[in-house]
């Protein structure tokens, strides 16, 4: 019985990890963390959206005498996209504006990561076929491709 319980617990943990991983989109960048976020911010503003915040997590860690590899997050949005989503379900305001994190891994490679907009259907009362989610997905893909590209 204990073995069955342990196997079930492991299977559930792996299942949760796989679900989370499927909702997280990562792309490798050809640039440093700082340059990647600079490029993303320029792409966001060039597309007519607004950058609301840029957070340097490594700098925050240093302020409490801790080391963290370069890690920065950019928060941005466009009311033309966000407002229709919020009209569908205002709780989505918890996940808007959108966020993208850039980080350097232990091997010195730089990646960006963000949650797939499709995840919002599970967390909020928004239909899976809502056109706004497709627009968000397309916009995030274009913007992040500009950030990580050559």
Q: Which of 84, 79, 65 has its CA nearest to residue 130?
A: 84
What is residue 130's predicted lDDT score, i.e. its pLDDT? 78
Kindly indicate the confidence band of residue 5, based on its pLDDT and cuts at 50, 70 and 90: very low
Q: Mind listing the pLDDT tens digit for each residue in 57-105?
A: 999 999 999 999 999 999 999 999 899 999 989 999 999 999 999 999 9
d(C-alpha 17, C-alpha 41), whole Å? 30
- The predicted model scores a pTM of 0.83
Chain length of the chain: 150
d(C-alpha 111, C-alpha 108), whole Å? 10
Mean pLDDT, residues 23-40: 97
d(C-alpha 56, C-alpha 82), whole Å? 24
Kindly indicate the confidence band of residue 115, based on its pLDDT and cuts at 50, 70 and 90: very high
Longest CA pairwise span in the chain (Å): 60
Mean per-residue pLDDT over the chain, rounded: 87
Q: What residue spans define the domains of the chain?
A: 24-148
Show the tokens assigned to 72: 């920065």
**CATH pick for 24-148 out of 3.30.310.70, 3.30.70.360, 1.10.10.10, 3.40.50.720:** 3.30.310.70
What is residue 21's predicted lDDT score, i.e. its pLDDT? 56
């Amino acid at each position: 019985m204990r073995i069955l319980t342990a196997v079930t617990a492991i299977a559930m943990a792996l299942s949760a990890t796989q679900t989370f991983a499927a909702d997280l989109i990562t792309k490798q960048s050809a640039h440093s963390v700082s340059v990647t976020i600079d490029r993303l911010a320029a792409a966001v503003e060039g597309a007519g959206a607004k950058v609301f915040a840029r957070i340097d997590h490594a700098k925050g860690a240093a302020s409490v005498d801790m080391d963290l590899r370069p890690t920065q997050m950019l928060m941005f949005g466009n009311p033309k996209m966000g407002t229709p989503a919020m009209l569908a379900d205002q709780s989505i305001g918890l996940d808007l504006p959108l966020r993208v994190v850039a980080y350097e891994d232990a091997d010195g490679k730089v990646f960006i990561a963000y949650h797939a907009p499709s995840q919002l259907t599970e967390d909020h009362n928004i239909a899976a076929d809502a056109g706004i989610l497709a627009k968000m997905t397309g916009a995030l893909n274009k913007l992040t491709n500009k950030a990580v590209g050559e």
